[in-house]
Chains A and B, each alone.
Chain A
Amino acid sequence: MSQIGSFALLLALALSVYSFLAGLAALVRGGPSSERLGETARRAGIAVFAVVVLAGLVLVVAAFQNDFSIAYIYHHSNRDLPAPYKFATLWSGQEGSLLFWSLLLATYGLVLRLRYKTDVRLFAYASVVIAAVQVFFLLVLNFAANPFGVMQGSLPADGTGLNPLLQYPEMVIHPPMLYLGYVGFTVPFAFALAALAMRYPGEKWIHITRRWTMVTWGFLTCGIFLGAHWAYSVLGWGGYWGWDPVENASLMPWLTGTAFLHSVMMQEKRGMLKTWNMWLIFSTFMLSIFGTFLTRSGVVSSVHAFAQSSIGDWFVTFLALIFATCVLFYVKNHAHLRSEHKLESLVSRESSFVFNNLLLLVACFTVLWGTLFPVLSEWVTGTKVTVGAPFFNRVNIPVALLLLLLTALGPLLAWRKTSVESLKRNFMWPAIGALGTGVILTALGMRPWKDISYLYSLMTIMLSVLVGLTVISEFVRGGHVIRRHTGQNLFSSMLQLAHRNTRRYGGYIVHFGVIVIMIGFAGSAFNQEKEQEMGFGDKINIAGYTLVCRSYTQDYNPNYESEWAIFDVYRGDKQIGTLNPERRFYKASQQTSTIPATRSSARDDLYLVYEGQNPQTGRPIIRVHVNPLVMWIWVGVWTMIVGTVVALIPNAVPVRVVAPARMHAQPVGAGD
């Protein structure tokens, strides 16, 4: 098995090198004679997909066949591991996850190379860039982190098993989603570099990459929040985001990718920010690679980073090469990126995008800075410091609040110029709604002056209401116009409106999802927790809930042994459910993990952790968290996904409205 896998990786490397060199030679030589050479490069790129898939399959089959002669399988699987987790072995360790990176890149490359007729020359350039990235990953896989390395000495009877924390259903889909996001940014990067290298006229490359970027961004969003949900459901500390370096690594390209999705509209609509967009997508790709480096080099400590290894040097070299290539082509061809229009007014959609980009980049810089500061501090002063949640929250929350304000203002601003009167007119009712919300919440007992976190929480909810009302008013205003002309009901009119300009209204739905998530985050200021030793019949009261310990029980299966606590949950005198927090002991890895039990509602989550037994008294210890509004976060994520899907749907042909006597035919909902 290992020989087939190793051979497949070598063959994939050879094909990638050929795809890169032949593709480059064809582009440099140009002319009809090089067309055949370019075609062989394209086909070699397609063949890379088949061979890397073979390598991936070999590893998965080895996991299912318990082939512990392969060191990677020995370290990340065992005989009694359930089938879905055996499949997940592919991305559970350093070497396998790099192979998975390469596999996804080959898949994206396949789609790109099959769609080459869209623009043969641009796609040929992009294909060369993708081949170069693929060469790097296959070099690492062949010479620094080979997943098919064999065990030395006698063949072990069983493997050491998969990390217990990874044995959770979401871990089967979270890494693929995240990697689809990371790897996917290679495609817009490849097109951007291709467009710069060939001095591509017009904005067609932006149109081509728009869907790629949105799909990639959508995957990264799903990956990040699946990771948050996994942390909440498995780690048992009652939270979903800990500002761990690995989490930060995924957030950074998401922030720059979000900035790109906004600013790219300025290039499409107004021919502006061409240089900025180019560097934004370059940075997003580099941050994806940097994140991969961060989690694999051991440069920063993290709960869920991969083991330290020497591959960090490979990534640093690769990053330096990418940066040098980007600078080289930029210096050579930057004159090509001159803006076609100038900014007319500070109060305009263009300005709001510029400030939106600034804030997103400052947030990204803060995350990067905080992640790397321990290294810098140790280097400068010789003393290592910790940069954790208090730092990131203190610095990033005000930036996030400003971003929310801009999210409310942005849709109300027109391209080129907006009159202050029109802004006032559109902004007044949402602003009154937001202020009214603040007054009501304060009257209901929210005390923003007692703690800065309460103040942030109140401001977040008020600004979210502001954004929500502007989004709703946009839908209602547009829906009314269509209703007047078509006679449909308002809801159908709003659906039709969204279908006419899916990108715009899909974007609004995404914004709506963001505010729902922000409201969920705001709830964390009011978290409560209690920890208590609990025997049969013991009670614990928290935030209006009463928990009564009914019993403890045990269970066994070939993979792990588990202990369960059974709790009856009461609200007042009424029993509202039963919760079973669990603690597992995995036999192969000899490790323990907790599986919290959660009762979710729109108001709060009741979250129970069975922490084990007190070594002194032998009594079970239960920790209870009441986390307000957490469900809103997951609902918000679904809303964002719906919005992204809506934005990907092609626009319906605008209905030509029958004009009254002095009106010309006007497509409603068109324009952004």
Chain B
Amino acid sequence: MFPLIRNLKSRPAFKLSLLMLAILPLLGAGDQSARVSDLGHRMMCVCGCNQILLECNHVGCAYSERMRGELIAAVDRGDNDDLTLQWFVQKYGTTVMAAPTKTGFNRVAWITPYLALALGLTLVIFIIRAWRARPLALPPGAVLPVEGLELERFREQARKETET
């Protein structure tokens, strides 16, 4: 496994592929309407409808139209994403963001599910190991399970007998 990775790392094609993978997500960035769409989907309409800003469909909504105008103006000004979002947070409060930021206590929101997955995986691996190692609780008079070579022999026999 590891020698294979070492060999790959030394190849120019592999390095080029890595470089392309790093660059590719950046292609197409800077498109104004795409930025408005991206940022507009990262914010909520604050009228109380609980909808994403660009999905609020209340005609005459006191907030969404104004907010969309402010967003387009910010993008036209050339403000970067962080600055734009920060401006909205300052004006409308933290609930304007559709997801917690990745700062301060809000980091906990993002880390915890992955932590739960990692802990769960560790626990499952630990349990599986424990299962494989533990002796069985057999009822009195029960026959010990067939294992190892004997089991393989029976499996082979079954396979032969059921093959058509």
Contact = CB atoms under 8 A, between A and B. Distances in A.
A380 interface: yes
Contacts of B28: 450
A384 B100 contact: no
Contact of A386 (B99, B105, B110): B99
Interface in B116-164: 116-117, 120-121, 124, 127-128, 131-132, 134, 136-137, 145, 147, 161-162, 164
A450 B25 contact: yes
Contacts of B21: 449
Contact of A354 (B57, B128, B132): B128
A341 interface: yes
Contact of B97 (A386, A615, A663): A386
A395 B97 CA distance: 17
Among A301, A341, A351, A389, find the residue whose CB has the most chain B CB atoms closer than 10 A.
A389
Nearest to B56: A237
A390 B41 contact: yes
B131 A386 contact: no
B80 interface: no
B124 A340 contact: no
Contacts of B69: none
A658 to B, nearest CB: 12
Contacts of B113: 362, 365-366, 369, 395
Contacts of B24: 449-450
A302 interface: yes
Nearest to B109: A373
A152 interface: no
B58 to A, nearest CB: 8
Range, interface on chain B: 35 or more
A449 B100 contact: no
Contacts of A395: 110, 113-114
B112 A390 contact: no
Contacts of A662: 161
Interface in B20-56: 21, 24-25, 27-28, 41-42, 44, 49-52, 55-56
A623 interface: yes
B55 A239 contact: yes
Interface string A604-648: 000001011111000001010000000000000000000000000
Interface in B79-130: 94-101, 104-106, 109-110, 112-114, 116-117, 120-121, 124, 127-128
Contacts of A609: 57
Given A385-B94, A666-B162, A358 B25 contact: no
Contact of B116 (A341, A362, A615): A362
Given A237-B55, A450-B24, A365 B95 contact: no
B128 A343 contact: yes
B136 A340 contact: yes
A333 B144 CA distance: 26
A664 B98 contact: no
A612 B55 contact: no
Contacts of B5: none
Nearest to B162: A666
B3 interface: no
Contact of B57 (A343, A384, A611): A611
Nearest to B96: A386
A74 B24 CA distance: 60
Nearest to A380: B105
B136 A341 contact: yes
Contacts of A513: none
Nearest to A357: B124
A218 interface: no
Given A343-B132, A358-B121, A362-B113, A242 B100 contact: no
Contacts of B16: none
B99 A391 contact: yes
Given A341-B136, A449-B24, A236 B106 contact: no
Given A242-B51, A449-B21, A386 B98 contact: yes
A238 interface: yes
A33 to B, nearest CB: 33
A399 B117 contact: yes
B129 to A, nearest CB: 9
A381 B50 CA distance: 22
Interface string A644-672: 00000000000000001011101000000
B124 A377 contact: no
Contacts of B137: 338-340
A387 B42 contact: no
B59 interface: yes
A611 B137 CA distance: 68
Given A386-B99, A450-B28, A377 B105 contact: yes
B109 A370 contact: yes
A451 B31 CA distance: 13
A346 interface: yes
B60 interface: yes
A390 B99 contact: yes
Among A235, A238, A391, find the residue whose CB has the most chain B CB atoms closer than 10 A.
A391
Given A339-B131, A377-B105, A390-B99, A303 B50 contact: yes
A567 to B, nearest CB: 17
Contact of A237 (B57, B99, B109): B57
Given A342-B131, A362-B117, A369 B59 contact: no
B27 A664 contact: no
Contacts of A244: 50
A394 interface: yes
B162 to A, nearest CB: 6
Among B50, B113, B121, B131, find the residue whose CB has the most chain A CB atoms closer than 10 A.
B113
Interface in A323-351: 338-344, 346, 351
B99 A388 contact: yes
A383 interface: yes
B29 to A, nearest CB: 9
A236 B55 CA distance: 9
B112 A369 contact: yes
A501 interface: no
Contacts of B128: 343, 346, 351, 354
27 contacts: A235-B57, A239-B55, A339-B131, A342-B136, A343-B128, A343-B132, A358-B121, A361-B120, A362-B120, A365-B116, A369-B112, A373-B109, A377-B109, A383-B94, A385-B97, A386-B100, A388-B98, A390-B41, A391-B98, A391-B109, A394-B99, A449-B24, A452-B25, A609-B57, A623-B57, A663-B164, A664-B161
Given A450-B25, A664-B161, 5 more contacts: A303-B50, A339-B131, A386-B100, A391-B109, A449-B25
Closest 7 CB pairs of A and B: A449-B24, A612-B59, A391-B99, A388-B98, A390-B99, A343-B131, A366-B113
Interface of B: 21, 24-25, 27-28, 41-42, 44, 49-52, 55-57, 59-60, 94-101, 104-106, 109-110, 112-114, 116-117, 120-121, 124, 127-128, 131-132, 134, 136-137, 145, 147, 161-162, 164
